[in-house]
């Protein structure tokens, strides 16, 4: 096997990095995961993830974790309501969608990020993850790399795999291409269900997508009952600075919301009135659709480090976990004669696949922030139900 006697460093302990570590360890590879979080109990933030049959779920199946996933996912959390700005319901699949339908093309079971991470961590050999390893830099050495971390430690690896996210510090060692701003800002908030009773009564454990006046509110209920939500709108890339808002002051943010979303029903106000602070402004980026770089024999990228994409098709984590699956297969089968050849085969396929998914997501983002967003999204969802 190509990676026999090869020390492998995966930088980043998100879904992609941990999935890859699991898949490689099943092939007896020598793997370490370097993660910046101080320990496994660090809070994992972000909205729940929906797993897709031919990507995220395919990776979990290959990792022999599908049965564990079935014990951990949240039945019914993928059920969706589509509304207008007045909170009038135009689409609901709550009565139509089965809570468990593994193997079906459009079944997208949801799981919170924390339980997914814990499941993956528990599948790894003890001490695979080296915590408190905030990557700073690396240098070529003896055909591999010496990695340097903020805590003053260093480590050598024959092969480095960057799974360190959209703002990857390893990506520049391979390519100068940088993410491109999509034109969309998503202002993230979180509120307990007790503090937003009217919205909680509507969402019923699932998701809400509300469209009006070329703006969105997107919500998902987490496993602990909290409502994670996003106000999504078009704005300048530096909106968070130019807005003058203090995102730790919810009264300021509420005032902004009432002005910018003035046409929207006041039911939405309770999200902002009672949210936990700070709010987090997230400019949405994507990589160029035609990116390329010269393959190295000892370095590659996966997930957002390789192809950060907008979240409007739900493909980010799924593409990242599919990267892990495909890279592990390239590194561990007997098709290729060198690591560089194996990595090149993975990168060519990954870039093509990611470019298609990115374009789809960008198109969805434009559709969701258009004047006819509600009509377009209803057509899209009704097509999935009737297909």
Ordered DSSP codes for 324-353: HHHHHHHHHSSS-SSHHHHHHHHHHHHHHH
**Is 43 flagged in the annotation as binding?**
yes
pLDDT of residue 386: 41
State the average pLDDT over residues 304-330. Answer: 94
Q: Within a domain: residue 30? A: yes
Q: Are 255 and 244 in contact (CB under 8 A)?
A: no
pLDDT band at 45 (very low <50, low <70, confident <90, very high): confident
pLDDT of residue 384: 55
Q: Within a domain: residue 384? A: no
Predicted model pTM: 0.93
Same domain flag for 188 and 278: yes
Same domain flag for 320 and 299: yes
pLDDT of residue 99: 78
Place of tokens 């993230």: 188
Higher-pLDDT residue of 87 and 95 is 87
Cα–Cα distance list, 88 to 46, 141, 206, 265, 374 (Å) = 27, 61, 16, 10, 11
Q: Within a domain: residue 97? A: no
pLDDT at 116 over 80: yes
Distance (Å, whole) CA 166 – CA 178: 10
Same domain flag for 58 and 171: yes
* pLDDT tens-digit map of 245-288: 999 999 999 999 999 999 999 999 999 999 999 999 999 999 99
Closest by Cα among 65, 6, 40, 15 to 305: 15
pLDDT of residue 97: 79
Same domain flag for 198 and 327: no
Specify the number of domains making up the chain. Answer: 2
Higher-pLDDT residue of 387 and 364 is 364
**Is 304 flagged in the annotation as binding?**
yes
pLDDT of residue 42: 86
Q: Within a domain: residue 205? A: yes
**Is 50 flagged in the annotation as binding?**
yes
Same domain flag for 28 and 116: yes
Q: Which domain holds residue 48?
A: 7-73+112-178+289-364
% of residues, the chain, pLDDT over 90: 87
Identify the domain boundary among 259, 286, 313.
286
pLDDT of residue 211: 98
Q: Are 111 and 220 in contact (CB under 8 A)?
A: no
Q: Within a domain: residue 148? A: yes
pLDDT at 78 over 60: yes
C-alpha torsion angle, residues 328, 331, 333, 335 (rounded to 10): 130
């Amino acid at each position: 096997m190509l990676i026999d006697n090869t020390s492998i460093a995966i930088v980043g302990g998100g879904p992609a990095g941990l999935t890859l570590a699991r898949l490689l360890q099943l092939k007896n590879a020598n793997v370490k995961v370097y993660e910046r979080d101080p320990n496994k109990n660090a809070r994992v933030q972000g909205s729940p993830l929906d797993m897709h049959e031919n990507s995220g779920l395919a990776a979990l199946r290959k990792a022999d974790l599908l049965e564990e996933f079935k014990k951990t996912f949240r039945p019914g959390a993928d059920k969706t309501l589509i509304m207008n700005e007045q909170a009038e319901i135009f689409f609901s699949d709550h009565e139509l969608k089965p809570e468990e339908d593994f193997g079906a093309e459009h079944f997208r079971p949801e799981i919170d990020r924390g339980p997914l991470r814990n499941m993956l961590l528990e599948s790894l050999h003890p001490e695979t993850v080296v915590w408190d390893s905030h990557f700073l830099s690396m240098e070529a050495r003896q055909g591999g790399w010496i990695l340097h971390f903020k805590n003053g430690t260093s480590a050598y690896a024959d092969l480095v795999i960057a799974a360190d996210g959209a703002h990857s510090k390893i990506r520049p060692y391979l390519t100068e291409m940088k993410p491109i701003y999509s034109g969309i800002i998503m202002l993230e908030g979180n509120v307990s269900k007790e503090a937003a009773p009217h919205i909680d009564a509507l969402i019923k454990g699932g998701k809400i997508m509300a469209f009006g006046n070329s703006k969105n509110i997107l919500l998902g209920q987490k496993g602990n009952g909290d409502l994670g939500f996003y106000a999504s709108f078009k704005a300048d890339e530096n909106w968070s600075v130019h807005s003058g808002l203090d995102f730790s002051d919810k009264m300021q943010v509420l005032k902004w919301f009432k002005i910018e979303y003035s046409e929207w029903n006041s039911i939405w106000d309770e999200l902002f009135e009672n949210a936990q602070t700070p709010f987090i402004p997230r400019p949405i980026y994507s990589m160029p659709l035609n990116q390329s770089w010269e393959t190295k024999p000892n370095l590659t990228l996966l997930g957002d480090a390789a192809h950060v994409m907008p979240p409007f098709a739900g493909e980010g984590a799924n593409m990242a976990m599919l990267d892990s699956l495909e890279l592990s297969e390239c590194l561990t089968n007997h098709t290729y004669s060198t690591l560089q050849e194996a990595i090149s085969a993975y990168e060519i396929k990954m870039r093509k696949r990611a470019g298609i998914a990115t374009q789809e997501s960008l198109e969805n983002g434009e559709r969701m922030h258009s004047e006819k967003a509600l009509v377009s999204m209803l057509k899209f969802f009704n097509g999935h139900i009737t297909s």
